[in-house]
C-alpha cells in the first residue's frame, strides 16, 4: 500500500516539476519521463494483483518509443536553433 502512495507522490512531483521548469526542453522531457515511470509503476502494481503482465510490457515499449522520439526532436531542435530554450522554438519569432 505504501508503494501505491509513493507512486502517486511521484506522479504529482513530476507534474509539479513539469509545470515549474518551462525554460529548457530537456528538463521538460525528463519530467515527462518521470511521470511515465510513475504511471508504469501504478499499472504494474494494479496488474500484478490480476496476474496479467502483458499490458505492462506494451506500455513500457510505448513509453520507450515516446522517449526516443522526444530525444530525436530535441536533437533536431538543437541543430536547427542552437539551444534547447523553449521560447526560441516558436516559429512566430
Domain ranges of the chain: 2-89
Residue 28 CB contacts under 8 Å (≥ 6 apart), including other chains:
18, 21, 22, 86
pLDDT one-digit tens code per residue, 40-75? 988 888 888 888 888 888 888 998 998 899 889 888
Alpha helices (H) in 25-53, listed in sequence order:
25-50
| pTM of the predicted protein model | 0.80
Percent of the chain with pLDDT over 70: 92
pLDDT one-digit tens code per residue, 20-33? 877 888 888 889 89
For the 2-89 domain, the top CATH level (class) is: mainly alpha
Amino acid at each position: 500500500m505504501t508503494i501505491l502512495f509513493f507512486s502517486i507522490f511521484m506522479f504529482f512531483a513530476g507534474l509539479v516539476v513539469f509545470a515549474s521548469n518551462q525554460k529548457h526542453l530537456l528538463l521538460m522531457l525528463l519530467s515527462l519521463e518521470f511521470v511515465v515511470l510513475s504511471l508504469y509503476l501504478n499499472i504494474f502494481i494494479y496488474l500484478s494483483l490480476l496476474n496479467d503482465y502483458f499490458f505492462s510490457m506494451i506500455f513500457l515499449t510505448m513509453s520507450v518509443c515516446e522517449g526516443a522520439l522526444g530525444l530525436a526532436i530535441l536533437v533536431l531542435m538543437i541543430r536547427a536553433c542552437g539551444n534547447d530554450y523553449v521560447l526560441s522554438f516558436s516559429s512566430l519569432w
